[in-house]
Chain A
Amino acid sequence: MIKLFSLKQQKKDEEGSARAGGSQKKASAAQLRITKDLNELNLPKTCSTEFPDPDDLLNFKLIICPDEGFYRGGRFVFSFKVGPNYPHEPPKVKCETAVYHPNIDLEGNVCLNILREDWKPVLTVNSIVYGLQYLFLEPNPEDPLNKEAADELQSNRRLFEQHVQRAMRGGYVGASYFERCLK
């Protein structure tokens, strides 16, 4: 009984707010800013975006399909979560595709300076896209999240390249299994 009432009350509130102002409640600062970022987005041809919910600009996916380097032919999906404090805090970016990469661990955490200590609010989604794209062209063994891969890259480039290929075709590298992610 009580629950029913609160539901009804809530509905009234919604109607009330819908009446004045409709759906356009003032967009948050983060929304305004991400809108501008996306408007100015200038994607390299290897990248594309996907919006699972077109009304929600704060959560989207970036797909990178490198056309050169170790990872040529792969298809890597990153999820972007833009928090309410954006641009004062960087978006949370995770790699959803399992990849054998010195700077991306098996949970999908990405080690990119501008996503962490070097973030500043004048950076945009575009900066992050270029940063991520660069990671695939030039994996950086200096600052590893996947230590095994980083060591391998430094000690045996050919072996590293073979392992990357195996991972992308789908298979085991060491004890870890990688889903196929070739285009």
Chain B
Amino acid sequence: MAKKGELEACWSKINYAFPILNGTIFTECTNEEYEDIQEIVINLGIQIKIRDLVIIHIEKYVRQNIVPSFWAKFVKSDVEVKGFQLFKTAINDLYDSVTNFEPMLRKLSLLNSNCSDNMPIFGERDIILGFKQLLRATLLAQIPLEFQYIIYFFYKVSFNVFDNEYENSDMGEDVMCSGCWNDYSDCNCAYIVKVFHDTNRKLMELQLLERLAGQVLTNFIQMRIESHIQKLCTGTFDVSHIAFLENWLDTTVMSWLTRIYCGGSSKPPPDDKNVQNAISKFKQKLSYYLYHSYTKLRIDQLFNIIIEYPDSQPAVDDIKLCLDKTDLRPTLCKNLQTALETRLLHPGVNTSEILTAYVSTIRTLRHLDPSGVILETVTKPVRNYLRNREDTVRSVVSSLTEDGVGSELAEELAKFAADGEDDLEKEDLWDEWNPDPVDADPKANSSDRKASDIISMLVNVYGSKELFVNEYRTLLADRLLGQTVINTEKEITYLELLKLRFGESQLHFCEVMLKDVYDSKRINALIHQDNSFGDSHIMCNGMILSAQFWPPFKDESLELPDVIKQLLERYTKCFEALKGNRTLNWIPHLGNVNIEIEIGQKKLDLTVSPFNATLIMHFQDKPEWSLEELHQVMKVPITILRRKITYWQSMGLISEKSADYYVLVDGNDANRSNVATSQVQEMICEDEESESVMASAHDQREGELQVFWSYIVGMLTNLDSLPLDRIHQMLKMFASQAPGTECSIQELRQFLDTKVRTHQLVLQGSMYKLPKT
């Protein structure tokens, strides 16, 4: 048993070897001296106790001295460079303290190797590793709230230097270095780079880089990526940015990051798998973030991209590429749908504009997602909206047959005719088959989604092509009757295109209409040769229509002047002679008249409607008329007279002297009247009320549905009461092939509901029946 004095000597020797037991680090104890001391400890058999004691003191020292003094430097500062310096100092000091520990740790390792208890030191077998573990744990346990500020500044300052090196190499004329914001004369960049690498190397050695700086770095780089993308991609859609962005990430960002991890070297050490893994993991994270941010930006711009399509195709290609790498499909659908709804689907936008945007959307999304699923989802509200607009059909039909700018649909129609045969070959590409995306509606047929072209998507807005064909017929009728010179060839070309699209039988009516126009020219020529027609100084032409094939005309009355009536009668006689057993019924208010008016020194050459011609001819015979008198001779309702006479008032030839009493304007006045200047003439001479001469589609439809009424009454008389679908089914059996007699169940419901409102029907539960008489 050792004496008390001996023990005290031993204890002071142990204290000499491990000064930490007294709260300091430095000792002059050499390795030889230590070996002797260790000998003593082992002989006493207290090596485990001493080791544990030392470790407890190290832990206490780290906790009470090193870590607090480290964190003390992490203050919130507004000055970037100050933050940079603070962080540098903090890391340097920490590194130095750790270095100072080394001799003692080596001794502790030796001691530990003589302990046979295999106790792990802070989870590690090795004392040095255990110490680092201890340091990290203690650091993180005391982490202050605002520690990220100076780290952020540190990396920001250094990234700026790097970014500057790669991107702004040609900014020689500036006085200021855009890397460190100092004058070029005392540019700090080289120093910053050196400090930066030094600090990072130390962090790596301490294994603190990812713990301390990882989050800050990630946030920082993400912010840089975002702002870089914003800077690069605002407003332009005609360049693809993906390759450029990938390159930027690879060169600027990744090489900077590599230098951080590798203490300044631009390449990771080939034997250090850990660093390589860390870098490649970081890169994956950042690439994803790059695609994600870029796609999000493009999705926000998608509406504009669509409007500019196909000029914006590079942007669409980018989105297409990125959608595969990100999970933004649902976001895209939702955002685009909202954009369409807020920017397009409101009363402030013309139907034709909506249609243009819709067509553009179809094209863009077709390109973006050939499966058609996104298109189907996104454009549903557009279709619903268009269905409720009254002039949709008319807009579609007129843009189908329009030429010149903005008639994308006309092009589409021609394209359909041109590449009609290509479809068949596509079917054989079975090896290019792809399954539908997961968000596809499993109820819908995928080939339908892909196959339907733009025009049928538009037609499908209404669900019935008959409506379209009918509207086209009305438009064609208006055009044929409204023009003095008819370009039959052009109309025939369109008709042929439409026939390819909608089928022959649907457009049979239009064919007859065009033939009527063509035949009329021939008949006119023949009649003009006929001597019995007489050589009237008025050139009389007829437009001879096959009534069964034209849409119904608006019913209007007009009594023509006698001289014209006689003229038309003579024409009829000649026609009857020409075409045995056939005669003509004139529709007096239709047609056009070329007249010359001489008044004062003025001469007007006008093409006007029969109504206007008749009116002015009456004023030639008698300069003053009351509305009532005009009504007597022209058989036109007073309200219409009053409305239409404004044409001559605007020409300055007739004025309203007193209420409903009109007089011819004095010739001299007419000369002075500035309304009838030549400019205005040109404008108005083309005149003609631009309203349709055809009964409106709505009126027509009403009439057509009325046909069903007698059947419905018959059915209900025999069968007492019937539900809607039964009535619909039974009517279907009687629906003939003529256009318009097809009736959708919704339409029928509306029709029946009007009958219920007018008490011609009774609705009980879901059964319709006739009211009891």
Give chain A's interface residues, CB within 8 Å of chain B: 12, 16, 19-22, 24-27, 31-32, 35-36, 38-39, 43, 45, 48, 51, 54-55, 57
Q: What are 18 A-B interface contacts by the 8 Å CB criterion? A: A16-B424, A19-B420, A20-B499, A20-B500, A20-B502, A21-B504, A24-B503, A24-B505, A25-B505, A26-B504, A26-B508, A26-B737, A32-B736, A32-B737, A35-B734, A39-B734, A45-B718, A54-B729
What is the CA–CA distance of A19 and B729 in the complex, to the nearest angstrom? 25
Residue numbers in B under 8 Å from A31 (CB-CB): 737
What is the CA–CA distance of A45 and B502 in the complex, to the nearest angstrom? 42
Give chain B's interface residues, CB within 8 Å of chain A: 420, 424, 427, 465, 499-506, 508, 711, 718, 729-730, 732-734, 736-737
What is the CA–CA distance of A138 and B730 in the complex, to the nearest angstrom? 32
What is the CA–CA distance of A36 and B729 in the complex, to the nearest angstrom? 18
Most buried by A among B427, B503, B506: B503
What is the CA–CA distance of A99 and B122 in the complex, to the nearest angstrom? 108
Most buried by A among B499, B732, B734: B734
Residue numbers in A under 8 Å from B718 (CB-CB): 43, 45, 48
* Chain A minimum-CB-distance residue to B453: A19
Residue numbers in A under 8 Å from B420 (CB-CB): 19
* Chain B minimum-CB-distance residue to A21: B503
On whether the beta carbons of A51 and B736 are closer than 8 Å, the reply is no
Residue numbers in A under 8 Å from B736 (CB-CB): 32, 35-36, 39
Residue numbers in B under 8 Å from A12 (CB-CB): 424, 427
Prevailing SS type, chain A contact patch:
loop
What is the CA–CA distance of A16 and B451 in the complex, to the nearest angstrom? 12
* Chain A minimum-CB-distance residue to B424: A12
On whether the beta carbons of A38 and B734 are closer than 8 Å, the reply is yes
**A35: which of B504, B505, B711, B737 is its contact (CB, 8 Å)?**
B737
What is the CA–CA distance of A79 and B420 in the complex, to the nearest angstrom? 44
Residue numbers in A under 8 Å from B504 (CB-CB): 20-21, 26
On whether the beta carbons of B737 and A24 are closer than 8 Å, the reply is yes
Residue numbers in A under 8 Å from B506 (CB-CB): 21, 24
Residue numbers in B under 8 Å from A19 (CB-CB): 420
Q: A26-B508, A45-B718 are in contact. List 9 more A-B contacts (CB 8 A).
A: A12-B427, A20-B503, A20-B504, A21-B503, A24-B503, A31-B737, A38-B733, A43-B718, A48-B718
Given A12-B424, A22-B465, A48-B718, CB of A54 within 8 Å of CB of B733:
yes
* Chain B minimum-CB-distance residue to A18: B503
On whether the beta carbons of B734 and A21 are closer than 8 Å, the reply is no
Residue numbers in B under 8 Å from A36 (CB-CB): 736
Residue numbers in A under 8 Å from B734 (CB-CB): 35, 38-39
What is the CA–CA distance of A98 and B465 in the complex, to the nearest angstrom? 47
Residue numbers in A under 8 Å from B427 (CB-CB): 12
Residue numbers in B under 8 Å from A20 (CB-CB): 499-504
Given A22-B465, A26-B505, CB of A51 within 8 Å of CB of B500:
no
Residue numbers in B under 8 Å from A22 (CB-CB): 465, 502-503
* Chain B minimum-CB-distance residue to A11: B427
Residue numbers in A under 8 Å from B737 (CB-CB): 24, 26-27, 31-32, 35
CB distance from A15 to the nearest CB of B (A): 8
On whether the beta carbons of B505 and A21 are closer than 8 Å, the reply is yes
CB distance from B704 to the nearest CB of A (A): 13
CB distance from A80 to the nearest CB of B (A): 13
**A54: which of B499, B711, B732 is its contact (CB, 8 Å)?**
B732
* Chain B minimum-CB-distance residue to A20: B503
On whether the beta carbons of A51 and B505 are closer than 8 Å, the reply is no
CB distance from B446 to the nearest CB of A (A): 15
* Chain A minimum-CB-distance residue to B707: A39
* Chain B minimum-CB-distance residue to A23: B503
Residue numbers in A under 8 Å from B730 (CB-CB): 54
CB distance from B710 to the nearest CB of A (A): 9
Residue numbers in B under 8 Å from A57 (CB-CB): 733
What is the CA–CA distance of A54 and B420 in the complex, to the nearest angstrom? 33
* Chain A minimum-CB-distance residue to B466: A24
What is the CA–CA distance of A34 and B545 in the complex, to the nearest angstrom? 28
The 5 closest A-B pairs by CB, nearest first: A21-B503, A26-B505, A27-B737, A35-B736, A54-B733
What is the CA–CA distance of A12 and B424 in the complex, to the nearest angstrom? 8
* Chain B minimum-CB-distance residue to A48: B718
Residue numbers in B under 8 Å from A27 (CB-CB): 505, 737
What is the CA–CA distance of A21 and B505 in the complex, to the nearest angstrom? 7
CB distance from B88 to the nearest CB of A (A): 74
What is the CA–CA distance of A54 and B732 in the complex, to the nearest angstrom? 7
* Chain B minimum-CB-distance residue to A51: B733
What is the CA–CA distance of A75 and B750 in the complex, to the nearest angstrom? 37
Residue numbers in A under 8 Å from B500 (CB-CB): 20
* Chain B minimum-CB-distance residue to A47: B718
What is the CA–CA distance of A45 and B736 in the complex, to the nearest angstrom? 25
On whether the beta carbons of A21 and B502 are closer than 8 Å, the reply is yes
